[in-house]
Amino acid sequence: MARIARNIVKSVLSREQMDGEGARVYRSIGSHALRNLDPFLMLDEFDVKAPGGFPDHPHRGFETVTYMLEGEFLHEDFKGHKGHLGPGDLQWMSAAKGIVHAEIPATNGRAHGLQLWVNLAAKDKMSEPNYQEFPKEKVVHVSPEPGVNVNVIAGESHGAHSPVMTRTPTMFIDVKMMKGKTFEQQIPTDYAGFIYTISGSAKFGGSKHASEAHHTLVLSENQGDHIPVESLSDDCHFVIIAGKPIREPIVQYGPFVMNTQQEIYQAFADYDRGRNGFEGARDWQSSIRNKWH
C-alpha cells in the first residue's frame, strides 16, 4: 500500500493568557479557534512563576497529562496523593469520576511544561481515578539519528514503545532536532492529530508547511500514515499528539467534561455534596495551596 503523508490543514498561533491564579499559559487546543480536536480537550504550554499556580480545583470525565520541560512543580490531591515533577518527568492522571487537586510551582524559578487534557469515552468517565508517574529516567527515549532526540510519552516511535497506559488510544511524541535534520513519525490512519511547536522552526507534512514557535498545526485526515519534518533551526522543539476520536457529544463546564448537560449538573451536585467519587472533597484543602502566600 502506498504511504501517504499527512499535511497541515490549519495553523493557529497561541498568545499567552492567564488561567488558574496568576498562571501564564499558551493555550493550543481548547482556545476559541481550536475548541476541541476529538479526543483532545485542551493543550496548555504553562510557564508559571510563584506565587502563580493552579490551587485546589476538581476534575471529572477526562485525563490530565502533565509533562515538565523546565523547573519543578508540586502536586497534591484530596486522597493524599503527592508528587514532585522535575524536568522531563511525566504524570498521566485519569481523573475519571473525580479528583480534587492542587498544582503549583515547587521553587521560586520558572515552572515550564505542557498539560494535555484527553477526553474519556462515556463508558470510562465514571471509572476509578488512576495515576501513572514516570520520572525522566523512565520516559522512553529514542534517537533515530544524531541530532534528533525523541521522548515517547505515549505510543510508539522508531521502535521505542511507551509503557504509559491510555484509556483513550493516544500518541504523544516530544521531538528535538538540530538544524537541517529530517524526521518521520508514523501515525495510525484512524487517529486525529496536531503538532504544537515549542521553539525553533521547521517544515511539516507532505506539503512542507513552515512554522515557528507557539503554533498549533492541525493534521489532515486523508488516510495519511506518517508526518515528515525538516528542521530549519538548532533549537527546533515540538510535540506530535494524535488519538482515536471518541465521537460522542461533549458538554464541558470548566473542569467537568461529560456527555450531557444533566451529567454536568450531577457533577456540580456531587462535588458540592461529596458524592459519587467526590467523597471528602468539600472539607479538603491542600497543604501546598498557601506555600507562596
Residues that bind ligand FJE (CB under 6 A): 19-20, 25, 44, 46, 54, 57, 66, 103, 115, 254-255
- Residue 54 or 191: which CB sits closer to ligand FJE? 54
For residue 72, the minimal CB distance to ligand FJE (Å) is 12
Alpha carbon distance 199, 114 (integer Å): 13
- Residue 66 or 220: which CB sits closer to ligand FJE? 66
- Residue 20 or 88: which CB sits closer to ligand FJE? 20
For residue 184, the minimal CB distance to ligand FJE (Å) is 30
Biggest alpha carbon distance in the chain?
A: 60
- Residue 57 or 289: which CB sits closer to ligand FJE? 57
For residue 264, the minimal CB distance to ligand FJE (Å) is 14
For residue 86, the minimal CB distance to ligand FJE (Å) is 14
- Residue 106 or 227: which CB sits closer to ligand FJE? 106
For residue 93, the minimal CB distance to ligand FJE (Å) is 10
For residue 36, the minimal CB distance to ligand FJE (Å) is 13
- Residue 53 or 224: which CB sits closer to ligand FJE? 53
